Chains A and B, each alone.
Chain A
Amino acid sequence: LQLQESGPGLVRPSATLALTCTVSGDSIEGGPYYWGWIRQSPQRGLEWIGSTYYTERAYYNPSLKSRVSISVDTSKNHFSLKLTSVTAADTAVYYCARLGLTYASSIYVWGHGTTVTVS
């Protein structure tokens, strides 16, 4: 199983950050795993953004809930993150991941991460 993040490395303040995670070696459709996003910055450390199952609503970190959405496209076997109204505080390495059998379970497989700078 491999996960690969893709998207712009530079985002303007107040714009929307959009990333995609392409999954290879497993199929999102059919379950049983959850898929999610985590970010890491020197200022905020590791931060759980949210996760989703291909047939369920997503679950989000309450501190980001008003700005974030996670969606799944089973036809392309990928899932996506959108974060609106970004500020410098959203600058971080963003990881996509495969979780376990619940929305906040352990993170079993991590992508390599992609650096996003808000400036």
Chain B
Amino acid sequence: QSALSQPASVSGSPGQSITISCTGSSNDIGTYNYVSWYQQFPGKAPKLIIADVSDRPSGVSHRFSGSKSGNTASLTISGLQADDEADYYCSSYVSTNSCVFGPGTKVTVL
């Protein structure tokens, strides 16, 4: 079972901003700045969109941003577009010297 929790779904209209939360504990997000976010389309491998809480890898749109407060990390998608419709997963380093993923959030563009 995942030690991180995410909303099952989030929706928004084109052009709007949406935020996906990822809640953990002091054993993971609350202590370590190794939070990542991944975007996954059906039948495809996940793609890294945010590393180390808020770093965007080269080539990732500036519309994606990450942050953290306490035990909760957040991914914000601004200027929502139709092709942002996908599943989004958070992950974090955990104190057991491993990594854990959240259950994923399905983003729907209305």
Contacts and interface: CB of A to CB of B under 8 A. Distances in A.
Interface string B86-109: 000101011011111111100000
Interface residues of A, number: 22
B45 A45 contact: no
Taking residues whose C-beta sits less than 8 angstroms from the other chain, chain B's interface range is: 20 to 34
A54 interface: no
A107 B101 contact: no
Interface string A92-119: 0001000010111111101111000000
B36 interface: yes
B29 to A, nearest CB: 13
B2 interface: yes
A30 interface: no
Interface of A: 45-48, 50, 59-62, 95, 100, 102-108, 110-113
